[in-house]
Structure 1
Amino acid sequence: MTSFTESAAFLKECHLRAGVRAAFAASAMWLSSAAGAADTFLPGSQSAAQSCLDTSSSSIPVRYDDQDRHFYAESGERFFAGELRFGSGVSSAEDRAPLAFIESGEDLEAVPLGPVNRWGLVPAWIIRTDEHGSSLLQAELLGEGGALFAPQHSSGRCAHILRGLERDARKAEVGLWRENAPQVVFSTKAPKTFNGMSGYYVIARGRVVSLGKTRTTRYLNFGNYWKTDFTATLKVSDQEAFNAALAQSGWDVDALTGRTVELRGTVQEKDGPHIALHHPEQLVVLEPAPLN
């Protein structure tokens, strides 16, 4: 798996390439002119485009293939919509949710998010452009309940908006959040509910009971019995990045004991259910930081 540091380096390289196409730049300029207005006055997908896409990023014209549900450039390079999971329980390279609302011949572009993966696919932002401007496909899917937010590259305001779109879809009980849909949110207090979920991407919520640390790994323990209870881990080398993200809400990793958090990631069975945290946006605290 590509590390957070490697992904950041790749993104920096991408940002040095040629600018994104004029249509997006014009749309971004219009959105920027609304500075000072609340995000709620912007369509979610356009607000996400403004925050997630850098106008210096390169974009590649692509077409959508509804047979394998990937995006193809003329060069043959293949892309998939990054930062999403569709509840399939497999890697995003094989997440192929129907995208029926994409019209044949529609203008689409891919902005690479990271290097090619082992399936020969490149994660990318997918831009849709029409007479109303440019929007982000990922934001549309999240807002309609068509996918889960699965951060591997996004951060800051971009991640905040995408997470908010997912939350709005959940409140509206649409798509993955409709009544009687397969469960995607689990309580860490009930580790047995994770039985059979190995390999599935889920959201887990609960209170951190204790923290642990070895030379290379930080442990977030959600119970007293590590052989059976839920656990999350992150690399010690990534803790600084996690602390930087948590600091935006007044937290850091060392202060999480007793706090209620939300995690998202792929479930593994490792002395009880376990999620490995590779990107800071996989972890958020669900309560306000204490006043100093």
Structure 2
Amino acid sequence: MPRNATYPGHVTRLLHLIVAFLIIAANTAFATPCQFESQGEGRVAAIVDARSVRLDDGREIRLTGIEPTATTKQALASLLTGRDVTLRSPDDTPDRYGRQGALVFIGEADTSVQAMLLAQGDAIVSAEIADKDCAAALMASEATARRQKMGNWADQSAIKNAESPDDILAGIGRFMVVEGKVLSVRQAGAMTYLNFGRSWTRGFAATISKRSLPAFESAGITLKSLENRRVRVRGWVEGNTGPRIDVRLVGQVELLGANEPTGVRP
């Protein structure tokens, strides 16, 4: 093939997925996180939506630990259609829609499909998995894609700037990742506010209810210590005036190190 020739789209995607798998394999050579109890096996008969598949026995499986992007469904189809999979999770209790939540593994692979999607930039970590090691592994897979600006992260607007609340508010009802400096930490009633703007009514804020505080304390995080620190927050955007993200899980908040490059536009 000539040096300047281009690969067909499906070949390019396959090559990208192979690279993502090799990156994850290198990072997990000495550990295999997310190896929960097996909750069954099956063959993928159909891709239901960007985060759900149907097995040949009729079970609908929801891929836990991720939020989809515009390319997730296509990537799932490339990875899973007609493949034999193993399901792993702490339990097999279905959600209110009858879907069984699980981490999905192709055959006997040690790397989950979720981790592969994240490393390729075809998904975003949802922070819903409580197991510390598994959550860290998924976050590391996403970080790989962010650093290399792969998939979803190639778009500069994938990470919102907390200093531009109108851009965040425009995505109300969507799952977003926001970065910025916490200007103040205030408590009002049973709610703690991480304020990223000087205007409490117009600026972006992350809200944490009193019932969620024990989880942060167990993780060694004092909310007041986040004041004047740069953090990354992820979650569903809501709010009628200033944009808000309700933080219920510790993994929704990441402290950014002084030398860690941020993904927001200046």
TM range (shorter): 0.7 to 0.9
Q: Which runs of 4+ in 1 moved over 6 A?
A: none
Q: Contact 1:44 / 1:143 at 8 angstroms: preserved in 2?
A: no
CA distance in 2, matches of 1:52, 1:165: 13
Partner of 1:287: 257
Please tell me whether residue 237 in structure 1 is matched to residue 211 in structure 2: yes
Which of 101, 124, 147 is matched with 2:102 structurally? 124
Which of 216, 225, 232 is matched with 2:190 structurally? 216
Please tell me whether residue 165 in structure 1 is matched to residue 145 in structure 2: no
Gap change, CA 1:103 and 1:120, over 3 Å in 2: closer
Q: Contact 1:45 / 1:140 at 8 angstroms: preserved in 2?
A: no
Q: Does 70-79 or 215-224 show the bigger shift?
A: 70-79
Please tell me whether residue 43 in structure 1 is matched to residue 3 in structure 2: no
Partner of 2:159: 185
Q: What is the TM-score of this pair, normalised by structure 1? A: 0.70
Partner of 2:67: 85
Count matched residues: 233
CA distance in 2, matches of 1:129, 1:44: 19
Partner of 2:42: 62
Please tell me whether residue 107 in structure 1 is matched to residue 84 in structure 2: yes
SS in 2 for 1:66: strand
Deviation at 1:101, TM superposition (A): 2.9
Please tell me whether residue 225 in structure 1 is matched to residue 199 in structure 2: yes
Partner of 1:150: 126
Q: Contact 2:65 / 2:128 at 8 angstroms: preserved in 1?
A: yes
The superposition leaves residues 231-276 of structure 1 with CA deviations (integer Å, 9 ceiling, x where unpaired) of 111121111212333x3xxx42121111111101111124311000
CA distance in 2, matches of 1:104, 1:147: 18
CA distance in 2, matches of 1:241, 1:129: 35
Q: Contact 1:61 / 1:109 at 8 angstroms: preserved in 2?
A: yes
CA distance in 1, matches of 2:24, 2:241: 46
CA distance in 1, matches of 2:38, 2:56: 15
CA distance in 2, matches of 1:112, 1:192: 38
Partner of 2:225: 255
CA distance in 2, matches of 1:125, 1:49: 17
RMSD: 2.7
Deviation at 1:71, TM superposition (A): 3.0
Unaligned runs of 5+ in 1: 1-39, 89-94
Unaligned runs of 5+ in 2: 1-21, 259-266
CA distance in 2, matches of 1:253, 1:47: 35
Q: In the alignment, residue 212 of structure 1 is paired with which amino acid?
A: R
Deviation at 1:134, TM superposition (A): 2.9
